[in-house]
Amino acid sequence: MTENDIKMVTIYVMGKKQRVPADLTIMKAMEYAGHQFRRGAGCRGGFCGACATVYRKRGSYKLQGALACQKIVEDGMIIAQIPFSPQEKVTYKINELKAEANTFLEYYPEIARCLACNTCTKACPQDIMVMDYVQAALRGDVAQAAKISFDCLGCGLCAMRCPAEIVPYNIGQLARRLESKYLEGPTGHVLKMCEEVKAGKFDAEIEEMKKMDKATIAKKYNTREMKIK
């Protein structure tokens, strides 16, 4: 098969016109066009949220968002990648918090400005009901907020679109931490592993790995036995 047999589309990357195969993701299309990723790329499998991208389609005024490693290009697509989505980092000590609504309001008081407009949900590339977990946090329903936000990658697209200037993924992260700490608690296998680490069960293996070169460690990692339960 030659390039003439491949369906091609026209896209615009950072304003520059490019012809790329129609079946590529935004990320692969940008690389096909010669773009070298130095940031804004991570797992390439839709798990890390590093490749948040905004785009417009031909003939549409709407600004849309996606993960570049997931979204397939379309003819006339105008693309601008976001290498970093800044957030206001809040520091707290999880052992001093309570699993209640006031905790969210104390550290992220801006959630009280939520307009329930659902813009955040529409912006989410994971189809998470973002507004629902923000509202659950406002009600103090930590378990529900944690459950709904579980698949959040923290890509930042919801925060970019929020007219109330809320950073929803911060809310989801706090909810999951509160739920794990106060509602669910550590699981048995985690506690067992912690005791084994404290007892020095893995010390010899760790010391052995410290002496390995990079190639040996890579081989050991790639040929490791996966334990799936």
pLDDT, tens digit, for every residue of 111-151?
999 999 999 999 999 999 999 999 999 999 999 999 999 99
Tell me, yes or no, whether 12 lies in a domain.
Answer: yes
Number of domains in the chain: 2
Is there a single domain that holds both residue 75 and residue 122? no
Dihedral, CA of residue 131, residue 132, residue 133 and residue 135, to nearest 10: 80
Q: Which of 56, 81, 106 is the last residue of a domain?
A: 81
pLDDT at 129: 98
- Cβ atoms of 73 and 11 within 8 Å: the answer is yes
Within the chain, which residues score under 70 in pLDDT? 1-4, 83, 227-229
2 CB-near residues (< 8 Å, 6+ apart) = none
The residue assigned the tokens 């940031």 is: 39
pLDDT at 162: 93
Which domain, by its residues, includes 157? 98-184
Tell me, yes or no, whether 34 lies in a domain.
Answer: yes
Is there a single domain that holds both residue 117 and residue 161? yes
pLDDT at 3: 59
pLDDT at 40: 81
Is there a single domain that holds both residue 76 and residue 102? no
CATH number of the domain within which 169 lies: 1.10.1060.10
Tell me, yes or no, whether 18 lies in a domain.
Answer: yes
Q: Which two tokens stand for residue 158?
A: 């919801």
Is there a single domain that holds both residue 103 and residue 152? yes
pLDDT at 14: 87
pLDDT at 138: 96
- Cβ atoms of 139 and 101 within 8 Å: the answer is yes
Tell me, yes or no, whether 213 lies in a domain.
Answer: no
CATH number of the domain within which 55 lies: 3.10.20.30
Is there a single domain that holds both residue 102 and residue 75? no
Is there a single domain that holds both residue 57 and residue 114? no
Is there a single domain that holds both residue 132 and residue 68? no
Is there a single domain that holds both residue 104 and residue 178? yes
Helix axes 168-178, 130-139, angle to 10 degrees: 50
Is there a single domain that holds both residue 53 and residue 9? yes
Is there a single domain that holds both residue 73 and residue 102? no
Tell me, yes or no, whether 88 lies in a domain.
Answer: no
pTM metric for this prediction: 0.77
Tell me, yes or no, whether 134 lies in a domain.
Answer: yes
Tell me, yes or no, whether 211 lies in a domain.
Answer: no
pLDDT at 111: 95
Q: Which two tokens stand for residue 188?
A: 């048995």
pLDDT at 120: 95
Q: Which of 81, 113, 148 is the last residue of a domain?
A: 81
Q: Which two tokens stand for residue 48?
A: 């890390």
pLDDT at 81: 83
Nearest Cα to 52, choosing from 39, 63, 66, 62?
Answer: 66
Is there a single domain that holds both residue 62 and residue 130? no
- Cβ atoms of 71 and 56 within 8 Å: the answer is no
Q: Which of 55, 81, 107 is the last residue of a domain?
A: 81
